[in-house]
């Protein structure tokens, strides 16, 4: 797709959710591999593209990331907004139906069990008890948040944050998980609303950074007697690091991972997902001939670590900007859950058009 041709809004809605789905399904096979190489990511993609449907194509399965994303979409559409009980029940129902298939996070499943009690009244309570009351800082909030940016397409970032926070708090109450999920939602929301070409990287990073500085101060306090320690400015600092990395041409994977992370924590995965999208706006060695969406997914996975979740988050941002057309048909058709994802994207688009 030529850089000057921006995708239509409906194509961006579909691009966002299908872009996320592909990231999850393509990232999943690399999830537990110690050292992922770009060469092996290319091999997976080449095999999949070369296959002429001889009957031996193995559909790539989605993980907990997509399972929970689909529940969020269904619940938002049904209730025309956030409904804690309905969303919690959908999360739990899907988990108990497929519990061995989707590789859920190590602790979040305790919350599903608590919700299933017939005495359950406060659906926000079980998450507050995780990790001795500290709450989870896993990336489970960020991995599933993309549809919220679509649902809130016409709203401002404060409204976006309100709903992102509520959905995240159902399972993750650590402030870094909540801020991280909001950062991911905002990145998708900004990409979706960007009508400039080429993509305005500096403006995008500046908006994300300003918003994170504001919310980090709001969350942790800006009182001068009690200045937040470095760790409490994690996201704005990592966004600054992204800007510096993008200005250099020689960044090694080790340095990136050491600074931005590539693990199951929100702060160790959301920044590197945003970086992957931005880095893939320009050519990447070894990925010549690939479009920016394809580069985003293949590059994000090649960084290793929590590959399905990093690729789902990078893919949602890339798809929201580049649109459905940038995602090769063959890639889409090899993913479990394509038709329900397409339907949810169209339903969310219809919802925002009429509200
Ligand atoms: N203290 C120590 N470790 C923590 C803490 C904490 N406060 N919070 C999280 N962890 P979980 P998720 C670690 O269970 O966020 C799937 O593979 C801890 O090791 O809340 O939904 C998905 O694809 C815990 O087991 O689940 C995602 O990649 C882990 O973070 C990921 O898991 C995950 O936190 C999402 O997991
Ligand atoms: Mg994961």
Contacts of 254 (CB under 8 A, 6+ apart): none
Cβ atoms within 10 Å of 53's Cβ, excluding its own: 8
Cβ 63 under 6 angstroms from ligand 1: yes
Q: Which of 314, 293, 248 is nearest to 7 (CA)?
A: 293
- Concatenating the DSSP letter of every residue in 329-348 gives HHHHHTBTTHHHHHHHHHHH
Cβ 228 under 6 angstroms from ligand 1: no
Q: What is the DSSP letter of 78?
A: H
Contacts of 73 (CB under 8 A, 6+ apart): 17, 147, 344, 347, 348
Q: What is the DSSP letter of 138?
A: B
Cβ 140 under 6 angstroms from ligand 1: yes
Phi, psi of 335 (to 5 degrees): -110, 135
First to last CA, the chain: 31
Cβ 136 under 6 angstroms from ligand 1: yes
Torsion of CA 67, 72, 74, 80, to 10 degrees: 180
Q: What is residue 2's predicted lDDT score, i.e. its pLDDT?
A: 46
Cβ 138 under 6 angstroms from ligand 1: yes
Which of 107, 130, 266, 313 to probe ligand 1 with, by most ligand atoms within 8 A of CB?
Answer: 107
Cβ 64 under 6 angstroms from ligand 1: yes
Q: Are 304 and 36 in contact (CB under 8 A)?
A: yes
d(CA 221, CA 214): 10
Q: Is 315 exposed, middle or buried (0-12, 13-18, 19+ CB in 10 A)?
A: buried
What is the whole-number distance in angstroms between the Cα of residue 266 and the centre of ligand 1? 9
3-state SS, residue 60: strand
pTM above 0.85, yes or no: yes
Largest CA distance in the chain: 68
Q: What is residue 249's predicted lDDT score, i.e. its pLDDT?
A: 85
- Render pLDDT for 242-262 as a digit per residue (tens, 0 to 9): 999 999 988 999 999 999 999
Q: Return the ligand 1 atom nearest residue 109 CA.
A: 14
Cβ 306 under 6 angstroms from ligand 1: yes
Q: Are 352 and 151 in contact (CB under 8 A)?
A: yes
Q: Whose CA is nearest to atom 5 of ligand 1?
A: 136
Ligand nearest to C-alpha 31 = 2
Q: Which of 92, 88, 173 is nearest to 134 (CA)?
A: 173
Cβ 65 under 6 angstroms from ligand 1: yes
d(CA 275, CA 318): 11
Cβ 308 under 6 angstroms from ligand 1: yes
Cβ 334 under 6 angstroms from ligand 1: no
Ion ligand 2: residues, CB within 5 A, are 306, 308-309
Which of 138, 169, 304, 312 to probe ligand 1 with, by most ligand atoms within 8 A of CB?
Answer: 138
Answer positive or negative: Cα dihedral of 29, 32, 34, 35.
positive
Q: What is residue 231's predicted lDDT score, i.e. its pLDDT?
A: 64
- Render pLDDT for 120-174 as a digit per residue (tens, 0 to 9): 999 999 999 999 999 999 999 999 999 999 999 999 999 999 999 999 999 999 9
d(CA 323, CA 6): 8
Q: Return the ligand 1 atom nearest residue 137 CA.
A: 8
Cβ 62 under 6 angstroms from ligand 1: no
Q: Whose CA is nearest to atom 21 of ligand 1?
A: 140
Strand partners, 138: 265
Q: Return the ligand 1 atom nearest residue 106 CA.
A: 25
Q: Whose CA is nearest to atom 29 of ligand 1?
A: 138
CA angle 272/21/163 to nearest 5° reads 70
Low-confidence stretches of the chain (pLDDT < 70) are 1-4, 52-57, 222-231
CA distances from 175 to 135, 136, 150, 234 (A): 8, 9, 23, 11
What is the whole-number distance in angstroms between the Cα of residue 348 and the centre of ligand 2? 25
């Amino acid at each position: 797709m030529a850089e000057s041709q921006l995708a239509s809004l409906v194509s961006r809605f579909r691009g966002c959710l299908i872009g996320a789905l592909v990231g999850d399904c393509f990232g999943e096979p690399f999830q537990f591999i110690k050292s992922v190489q770009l060469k092996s990511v290319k091999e997976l993609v080449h095999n999949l593209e070369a296959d002429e449907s001889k009957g031996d194509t193995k559909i790539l399965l989605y993980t907990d990331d997509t399972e929970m994303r689909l529940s969020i979409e269904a619940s938002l559409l049904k209730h025309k907004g956030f409904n804690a009980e309905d969303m919690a029940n959908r999360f739990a129902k899907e988990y108990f139906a497929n519990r061995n298939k989707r590789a859920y996070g190590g602790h979040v499943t305790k919350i599903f069990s608590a919700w299933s009690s017939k005495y359950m009244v406060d659906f926000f309570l079980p998450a507050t008890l995780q990790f001795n009351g500290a709450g989870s800082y896993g990336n489970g909030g960020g991995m599933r948040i993309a549809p919220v940016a679509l649902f809130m397409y016409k709203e401002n970032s404060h409204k976006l944050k309100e709903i992102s926070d509520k959905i995240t708090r159902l399972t993750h109450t650590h402030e870094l998980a909540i801020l991280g999920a909001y950062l991911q939602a905002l990145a998708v929301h900004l990409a979706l609303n960007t009508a400039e070409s080429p993509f305005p990287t500096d403006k995008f990073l500046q908006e994300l950074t300003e918003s994170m500085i504001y919310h980090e101060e709001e969350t942790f306090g800006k009182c001068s007697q009690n200045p937040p320690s470095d760790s409490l400015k994690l996201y704005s600092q990592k966004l600054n690091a992204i800007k510096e990395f993008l200005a250099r041409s020689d960044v090694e994977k080790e340095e990136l991972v050491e600074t931005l992370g590539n693990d199951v924590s929100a702060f160790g995965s959301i920044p590197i997902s945003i970086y992957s999208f931005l880095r893939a706006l320009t050519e990447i060695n070894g990925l010549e001939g690939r479009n920016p969406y394809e580069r985003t997914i293949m590059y994000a996975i090649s960084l290793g670590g929590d590959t399905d979740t990093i690729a789902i988050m990078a893919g949602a941002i890339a798809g929201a900007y580049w649109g459905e057309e940038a995602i090769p048909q063959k890639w889409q058709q090899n993913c479990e859950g394509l038709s329900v994802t397409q339907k949810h994207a169209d339903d969310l688009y219809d919802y925002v058009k009429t509200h």
